[in-house]
Every structure is written in structure tokens, then in C-alpha cells.
Structure 1
Amino acid sequence: MTAIESATPRGRKPASRTVSPAARWLAAATAPWKRSAQRSAALVIADVVPAIGFAAGLGIAMGELAKAAPLDQLHTIGLGPALSMAGPGAALAVGSLALRAALSLVATRAAADAARQTKSGLRQRLSAGLFWGRVSDSQAMAAAVEGIDALDGYMARFAPVRTAAAVSPLLLIAVAAVVSPFTAGIFLFTLLPFVIGMALTGMAAAAESRKQFQAMERLSGLFVDRIRALPTILAFQGEGAETRRMGVAAHELALRTSKVLKVAFLSSAILEFFSALAVALVAVYCGFNLLRILPFPAPDALTLGQAFFLLALAPEVYHPMRRLSAAYHERQAAEAAAPHLEALEEAAPTIERQKRPAPVHPPHLAMQSVTIAYPDHAPVLTDFDLDIPAGRSVALVGPSGSGKSSLLHLWLGLTPMTAGQLFADGQPVGPETDLTDWMAYAGQAPMVVPGTLADNIALAWPQATTRQILEAAAMAGLNGDMGRVIDERGGGLSGGERRRLGLARAFLKPAPVLLLDEPTAHLDAASEKALLPVIARAAKGRTTLIATHSDAVAALADKIVRL
């Protein structure tokens, strides 16, 4: 899936300028899963039906009891007659509660499913940005892990109740207006403090959420850097100082998190206060109306059943707003993470690459006027030309930093080509062309995954048989136990064995092009000498490009190019 090129999706009108860029990006990024979010929001709004049913059941039950005796003599009705009269209303109330529980369960599952789909889809879409080096490791880690996880609460808790908070109170007030227009007016008037309270606390929550995410990003970056430098830290006995530094960063994150929670709790407390005050105001009106002691002419005369209906409905009018307040910090956390997610998205290539099937014969490769320049750096190569005839080999020789590895990575799509053109068998190779099926590659730092040595070799060609894996390992000089277990850090492999692992992968893959990046680096003279005929054998019948400092390896090539 291609990355989104702008905050506003194609074919849609731009959002209002009053909407923050983070909110616009969130709306665009979660748009593919909008239908799932709308389904969960509809289920939350449907909660008003059992809420009205419960209030109606309670009002009907009390209304029937009021018909049997005056308000001040309800205690004189026997238990049996009272149950008989209140039975239909009580049954409606109990059934409504059961329906409400079922709806709540279904709505929760639907919201969780929408959040799961959103996180999974965004992880797949944004993962390409992790491999292009255009954002720092700390930013990439914070965005890919904590940033996407922040969308869980946004999609599962905030998005459904946001819609319900705008619709449900109005539906309930409309129902209340049928019974008592004056009470409905009280409901409308008392909603204003909710809106003002949420606006004020929302601004404070947004600022604290941004600070919290920045502290989390700093801690992630510090952790990544210290893990990479762990051998050096241990060698110089600096673990004590680094532990204290990590502790300070963790404490700062804890303080930022506590401030976010403090604002969230304050917001909930404010809305709970206004909710209790509004319900009390309705209760006072209904009570004085029943007793006919209002200090002003009663706009409507309530019965006991109507009063109980309105009293039971009152908390439900404010319930959606209270749920929104409880989940409001989820929105702020998601918007705080949005700029980091957007940066990760922009770091990914915006062109969907199409695989070109590998030919059965060794191809003719060519480079014309190629310029390689990384952002904010001087060009690595300028106007570089190279022609590699089909089935021939070329060695790139030059000092470190001269661009040898960059030229190899160019064919893999891992290096940005600022200018120029690549050709494979006479056909131009553009940014949208994927030639990975053409290439067998051995890099300077082969990736290692948890598993056996055979599993790691087979990564280059999963269809390989056990015999083919053993032959490739033998060619590379890996004659040990193929079943030995290797961890993700390469534990159990020496530096030379790790380099041989990369060669074994390149030898295993039946690709028509062989790319070797310093194939004998860090090997002793005897090991290099033993590997030379193996490299020559692997290059036979392939178009080969070798980056090396070794004169012995360069001598294997048909042509040597000095950078």
C-alpha cells in the first residue's frame, strides 16, 4: 500500500482551517477503517434505546402504584398487589437493562476490532519508513510502537463516544420534551457547562500529552543508543552512570505521565460535578412540581410516573458527555503522536514498486550519469558511468566513503539516486522498479534472526532444499552444525562466521546478478585465500558487482573500477 502523500486524502475537500494538522492527519490516516469505527459508534448511540426503556419501565411501574393510592399513602399498598401492578413496568426495566448489557458488550468488541484493524493497517503502511533512515532511530521506535499504540484508545474509546456525545443527549432530550418541555429546557441549558469544561481541560491535556510523548521519545532514543553501546559501556565500567541517566529519563517520563493523568482526572471531576448538579436541579424541579410548591407558575403538571421517568432519564442525558470526558485524553495522546507518525509515513517511499521477473540468463547492467546524494550531505558520487556486460564481473575499489556500497545498494533500491539512470538488459530501471528477484546480495552486516543456522541461510531463498542449504554453507566455509540455535544478536557466531553467513545466502539464491560488499573483510589471510576460488565459482554464470578493499578479490573480476 502506498503512503499518503498529503494530510488531505485525494478526492476530498480540505478540512476546515480551525482543525489542527494532527487532527486532519488522524482523520486521513484512519479513513480506511472509518466504516468499522462508525459501526461501533452506532452501537454506542443505540444505547439510548434501553436507557429510555429503563426510564419508561420505572415510570410505568410508579405510575401504576400512584393510581392505587395517593403519593403519601403508597406504603399502605400490600406487597402482592404492588408487585402485580408494578410488574409490567418492572419487566420492561429489567429487559432494558439486559439489552443494554448486550449492546455494551457488542459495542466494546466492535470498537476493539476497529482499533485492531487500524493499528495493524497503519503498522503495515508505516513500516517502510523504518528502513530508509530519514528519521532518527528514537523517533522511529517511538512512532512505530508507542505512537501506533496511542491509536488504540483513540479508535476503541474516544471515536465511538465522540459521535455518541453529539447525538445521544439530543435524542434523550427530545424524548424528555414529549413528557416535560420545561425539563428538556433544563437539560439543554445544563449541557453548556459540559462543553466549556471540556474545551478548557482539553487544551491543557493536549499540551501535557505532547510533552509526555516527547519524554517517551527521548527515553526510547536513550535506550536504543545505550543498547548499541553496551559492550563499550561495560568495557569502561560506565554502567552505573548510564543506569542513573536512564533513571532520570524514566523519572521525567513518569512525571509527564502523571501530569497527563492529573488533567484527565480533573476533567472527569469537573464534568461529574456539573452532572450531579444538573441531575439535582431536575430532581428539585420534579419534586416541587409533584408537591405543587414551585415558586413560579408550573409550566407543566407532572404525575409520579412522569417524574420518575424524567429522574431516571436525567443521568442518561449527561452519561455520553461523561464517557467522552473520561476518554478525552485518548484523543490528546493520539494527536500528540500524530506528527511523529506522519514523519514516519513521509520517510517511506511514495511509489509502489513493481517487481520485474528475473531473467534466466545473466543480464547486462549499466549506469549512466548517476549521482548519489544524501540529504544535508555532499554528493557521494557525481555523473558516474558503469557498464557491466552480461555474465561478466566488475570490482569497485576505493577508500571507505567513496560510494562502493552505495552503488550496490542502488540496485536494491536502498540508496536514493539523485540523478542519472540505471538499465537492466537495456530497460530503464526507475524508482518504481523492484529488482530484488534479480539480486543475490551479501552485505557487510548480515541480518540475523532467532532460529537455527540453516533457517538463517534459507532466508535468501525459502524454497531451498536441505541439500542446497548445506551446499551453500559448505561453499561459504560454514561447516558447523546447521541445527545450532542463534539468537537475534547473532550469539553463537563469530565475526567471520557472520560474514560467511551472508555469503552462504548469496550463494544459495539462484539469482542472475551477484552483489558482494566486502566479502572477505575481517577474515585472516588464510581464510581469504581459501574463499577466493569459492567467490570465483559463485560468480561464474552471473553478472557480478563486487565492492572490496582487497586486491586479491579485485583480481578475480574481469574489470576493476577505482573510485
Structure 2
Amino acid sequence: MGARIVQIDHMSEAPKAVLKHLERSASPAGQRARLLMALDGLAAIAFAAGLAFGIDAIAQGRGMAPWLVLALAAMTFRGVLAHLTGVAGAQAAAEAKASVRADLARSIFGGPRRAAGEATTALVEGVEALDGHVARFLPARFSAAALPLVMIAVAAIASPVCAGILLATLVPFIAAMVLAGTAAAAESRAQFLALERLSGLFLDRVRALPVVLAFQAEGATTAALKRSASELAERTIRVLRVAFISSAALEFFAALSVALVAVYCGFNLLRLLPFPVPEQLDLKRAFFVLALAPEVYAPMRRLAAAYHDRQAAEAASASLSTFEAPTPKPAAAVATEAPTIRFEGVTVRYPDADAPALENFSLVAQAGTITALVGPSGAGKSSLLNLLLDLAPLTAGRIEAQGEIAWAGQSPLILPASIADNIALSRRDASRAEIEAAARAVGLVVDRPGGLDFVLDERGSGLSGGERRRLSLARALLKPAPILLLDEPTANLDAASEAALLDAIREAAKGRTTLIATHSEAVAALADQVVRL
């Protein structure tokens, strides 16, 4: 639904800006949920009419079948509407969360560096807090804005006095909602901040676990986590306390309204009112108003029940709004032929590092050639490849490289799917023949039942180290990219397995500009130039 992270100067307005953007970007599923919930009010009017006219027919000795059918049909229709509203709301929430989470992930990985605990809490808990706001609150607010007044107007046709009672009691009901919502908002924000602090503290302590054990600080660490967890529990109890108190206040005014309507209708029918009124009710009008009175407050009750979702979403949005969308980079021309890659005075310094991973490094990899980057661990081989993948910070210098990139890393991602599907991750529209050709080209011979259709688990159980690297090379070969990056393609392999993989590397590098980070002299021998770091 095209949601985005919104950056606002005034933090008090930021959460509302994020939520308003979600509301303006409502998907078709969200609009359908609002319409379906609004139709519930019309079905409620039909149910009250069928019930009132049916009771009146019994009192006058007439057949009540048509009115009973109307009441049952309206009741069934309301059940169907409730189900469809829930389904549409869940779909709208899933679409909204997926969009916000994608934008937030781009901000985290492409924007300014943020604390890992803060980023994780926002990406998981913060985005999930939007679920109730989209799925329940927005449809409930839409129906609560109009349905009570529509039903009061319909009730006024049968009894203007009862309509006045309903309208008068609606005012304190709304005031109670506003007061409860204000109190819940403050408590929800405090709860989310407590959750964020606990997540950050826990992640930091897990990272520092060797240091904690070395200095025997287990007790102090446990006590700090316990205090943070207790604070979160206390904040959660406060949120629930406010929610219960507000629900009790709202139910009081709703019950008071229905009770006043019931007393008025009963005394009017018995002609025992102690004051004159401009109307004289009969049974069907009195019963219709009495059946409709609880329904007037049903949309407001749903809104009150979902109001906590709104406050939770607003509290989470205060954190989400601080993540800046990364500046879009200008689109580069797409090269279809192998390009020349140039590194000019490149320096790579990772945040918080004592020394740069690379400093003032220059290299020219001619088009269509293989360049081997050889050196000890930590010399910066992988950092050079990561620069081209935009996974390492370019602190200084300039890089010139155009075209898509095929990459084969040391630990290829394995999904719980067939070997063929795992190869096709680099190109989802590849045909079966193309997948098989890529597997044959890199020497991936699967001696298992089903061949390439053999289903792997998420750990890739059963694949040897050589087969994993051949699978990764097959992915790279399947992707028609003019640049090929290989990171330690023969690491941890014995001499025989490495020799068997060299032909696959040579095949994958044909017609491409290839950079290989390796410790192996055998792999380096394939290269047109060798750069020792």
C-alpha cells in the first residue's frame, strides 16, 4: 500500500504523521473493511425492525413469520459481515506491515547507523504494533463516526424523546472515551520505551557475554535485566489498568442510556409518566427503540475496544518516525557487456574500528578478465567485494563499475526447497532447462533420489562442502550478470575437491569481469592478474 517512513521535525507530531500516512494510503482491503463494518449498522436496524414488528404481530394475533425471517436474515447477515470485516482488516494490516517493514529495513541498512537493539525492536515489535490500528481501529472509527447518529435519526422516527435521551447520553460517553484515550496514550508510550530499553540491554549483554563471564559479572548483569524486565511488567500492568477503568466507565454510560430508554418506554406504554410528553408510544415503536438503543453504542464500544490499538500504534510510531529514509541513489546505466572495474584511492573504515580495513587502495580489473585478490585473513579481500555489493562503507576514494552483479559467497543461503529451486533463487523466471544447464556447467551432479528435485531442509543437510559451493556457482552462472564476485570459493575443501571445482569457476567466469577473494594459489592460477594484499 506504499507506506513510507516519515521524518517530522516535531516529535509530538511524528507519530500522528506516520499513522495519517497509513490512513491516506489505505489499501482496497482496508477500504472494504470500513464499508463492511458500516453495513453492520444497517443490518442492526433491520434486526430491530424485524423483532419489533414480530412482537407486535404476536400481540395482535397476526402471523409473525415474515418479520421473524427478516430478523433471522439480518442476524445471519451481521455474522457474515463480522467475519468478512475481520478477514479484510487482517489482510489490510498484513499489507501495511509488509510495506512499512520493507521501508524500515531499507532505512536501517541504507541510512544512518542505529543501535541494534533499537533497530530490532522497531522492525519487529514496532511494526507489529500497527496491526490493531489498521485491522480494527480504522474500520471501527469509520463506523463510529456516522452510525450512532444514523441510528439515532432512525430512532427519532419512532420516538423523538428516546432519540433525545440517546443523543444526550452520547456526549458523556464520548467525553469518557477522550479522557481514557489520553491516559492510555501516555502509558502506552512509556510501555514501548521500556520494551525498547529491555531489548537493547539484552542484546548488548548477549554480545558482551564473554566479557561478562571473564569479569564474573553474571550477578550484576542478571540484576540489571531483572530491573528492566520488572519495569516493563509494571508499565504493562498500568496500561491494562487504564484499559479496564476506561472500559468500565464506557459501559456505565452505555448501560445508563439503555436503562433510561427502557424506563421511559415502559412508563409511556403504561401511561404512568409523571410529566407530559408530546408522544404516545405503541408496542412496536417502543420495542423498536428499545432493541435499537444498545446498537447505537455498539460502534462506540468497538471503537473504545480498539482505542488501545491506536495508542499502541502511536507509541510505536514515535520510534518508527525517527528512522530516516535513505537518499535514493541515481540510477546507473545498465551494462550488458563485461565492464572494466576501477578502484581509485579507496579507503574502507568500519564504524568503531581502530584501523581501516583498506587504505588508499587502487586497482583496475580489465573487462572480461579474472582478478584474484590474495592475502591473509583481515587483509581486506572481502571488503573489496562488499564495496561493489554496497555492503561496506566507502570512506574515501572512487569506484567505477557498471552492470548487475552475480555473487557466490562462502556460505550460500539454503532454503527448505528442492535443489533446483535453490539454484533458481538468482533468477526466478529461469526455465527448467536453464537450471539444469547451469548445474551441469559447474559440475553439480546430484546422486540422490529425484536429482535436482531432491528437497533440502533449511540447513542443506546432505550437501557436501563442494556441492554447496557448486550450487552457489550455479546460481551465479544462471544470473546473466556481467560482473561475477566469488568469495573464497574453495575454502575448507581438500585438494581433490578444489581441483574438481576449478573448471566450474572457469566456466562461470566466461564473458564476465570476475573478482575472486581467495587464499588458494590454485584458484589464483586461473586469474589474468593477481593482487596480493
Alignment TM-score, normalising by the size of structure 2: 0.76
From the superposition, tell whether residues 398 and 90 of structure 1 become closer, same or farther in structure 2 (CA, over 3 Å).
same
Q: Which residue of 2 aligns with 1:236?
A: none
Report how far residue 308 of structure 1 moved. 2.6
- Alpha carbons 2:4, 2:99 under 8 Å: kept: no
2:285 partner amino acid: Q
From the superposition, tell whether residues 441 and 54 of structure 1 become closer, same or farther in structure 2 (CA, over 3 Å).
closer
- Alpha carbons 1:150, 1:333 under 8 Å: kept: yes
Number of residue pairs aligned between Structure 1 and Structure 2: 525
- Alpha carbons 1:391, 1:541 under 8 Å: kept: yes
C-alpha distance in structure 2 between counterparts of 1:35 and 1:335, whole Å: 23
Q: Which residue of 2 aligns with 1:31?
A: 24
**Residue 55 of structure 1 pairs with residue 53 of structure 2:** no
**Residue 446 of structure 1 pairs with residue 412 of structure 2:** yes
- Alpha carbons 1:397, 1:562 under 8 Å: kept: yes
C-alpha distance in structure 2 between counterparts of 1:2 and 1:369, whole Å: 40
Q: Give the RMSD, CA atoms, in angstroms.
A: 5.1
C-alpha distance in structure 1 between counterparts of 2:32 and 2:407, whole Å: 48
Q: Secondary structure at the match of 2:277?
A: coil
Q: Which residue of 1 aligns with 2:309?
A: 330
Q: Which residue of 2 aligns with 1:197?
A: 176
From the superposition, tell whether residues 489 and 132 of structure 1 become closer, same or farther in structure 2 (CA, over 3 Å).
farther
From the superposition, tell whether residues 96 and 474 of structure 1 become closer, same or farther in structure 2 (CA, over 3 Å).
closer
Q: Which residue of 1 aligns with 2:39?
A: 46
Q: Which residue of 2 aligns with 1:408?
A: 385
- Alpha carbons 1:499, 1:519 under 8 Å: kept: yes
From the superposition, tell whether residues 458 and 46 of structure 1 become closer, same or farther in structure 2 (CA, over 3 Å).
closer
Report how far residue 298 of structure 1 moved. 3.1
Q: Which residue of 1 aligns with 2:514?
A: 544
1:486-526 deviation per Cα after TM superposition (whole angstroms, max 9, x unaligned): 54345456777756654564466564433222345445678
Q: Secondary structure at the match of 1:516?
A: strand
1:266 partner amino acid: I
Q: Which residue of 2 aligns with 1:11?
A: none
Q: Secondary structure at the match of 2:26?
A: helix
Report how far residue 25 of structure 1 moved. 0.7
1:391 partner amino acid: G
Report how far residue 539 of structure 1 moved. 4.5
1:542 partner amino acid: R
Alignment TM-score, normalising by the size of structure 1: 0.73
**Residue 392 of structure 1 pairs with residue 369 of structure 2:** yes
- Alpha carbons 1:514, 1:539 under 8 Å: kept: yes
Which ranges of structure 1 fall in alignment gaps of 5 or more residues?
9-13, 66-78, 234-238, 430-434
From the superposition, tell whether residues 500 and 162 of structure 1 become closer, same or farther in structure 2 (CA, over 3 Å).
same
Q: Secondary structure at the match of 2:367?
A: coil
1:389 partner amino acid: Q
From the superposition, tell whether residues 471 and 131 of structure 1 become closer, same or farther in structure 2 (CA, over 3 Å).
farther
2:363 partner amino acid: L
Report how far residue 84 of structure 1 moved. 0.5
Report how far residue 390 of structure 1 moved. 1.6
Q: Which residue of 2 aligns with 1:488?
A: 458
C-alpha distance in structure 2 between counterparts of 1:190 and 1:375, whole Å: 61
C-alpha distance in structure 1 between counterparts of 2:186 and 2:385, whole Å: 46
Report how far residue 122 of structure 1 moved. 4.3
**Residue 278 of structure 1 pairs with residue 244 of structure 2:** no
Report how far residue 221 of structure 1 moved. 7.2
Q: Which residue of 2 aligns with 1:118?
A: 96
Q: Which residue of 1 aligns with 2:4?
A: 4
Report how far residue 161 of structure 1 moved. 0.9
1:6-50 deviation per Cα after TM superposition (whole angstroms, max 9, x unaligned): 358xxxxx9xx8984223212313533344323322232232323
- Alpha carbons 2:4, 2:103 under 8 Å: kept: no
Q: Which residue of 1 aligns with 2:133?
A: 154
Sequence identity of aligned pairs in percent? 53
C-alpha distance in structure 1 between counterparts of 2:161 and 2:371, whole Å: 89
1:387 partner amino acid: V
1:185 partner amino acid: G
- Alpha carbons 1:3, 1:350 under 8 Å: kept: no
Q: Secondary structure at the match of 2:412?
A: coil
Report how far residue 168 of structure 1 moved. 1.0
1:97 partner amino acid: M
From the superposition, tell whether residues 83 and 295 of structure 1 become closer, same or farther in structure 2 (CA, over 3 Å).
closer
1:294-340 deviation per Cα after TM superposition (whole angstroms, max 9, x unaligned): 45443544444433332222212211111111222222233333345
**Residue 268 of structure 1 pairs with residue 268 of structure 2:** no
Q: Which residue of 1 aligns with 2:442?
A: 472
**Residue 315 of structure 1 pairs with residue 298 of structure 2:** no
Report how far residue 106 of structure 1 moved. 4.0
| 1:424-435 equivalence runs, <5 A | 424=401, 429=402, 435=403
1:398-426 deviation per Cα after TM superposition (whole angstroms, max 9, x unaligned): 665564323322323434546665434xx
C-alpha distance in structure 2 between counterparts of 1:468 and 1:90, whole Å: 69
Match of 1:173 among 145, 152, 155: 152
Which ranges of structure 2 fall in alignment gaps of 5 or more residues?
213-217
1:24 partner amino acid: A
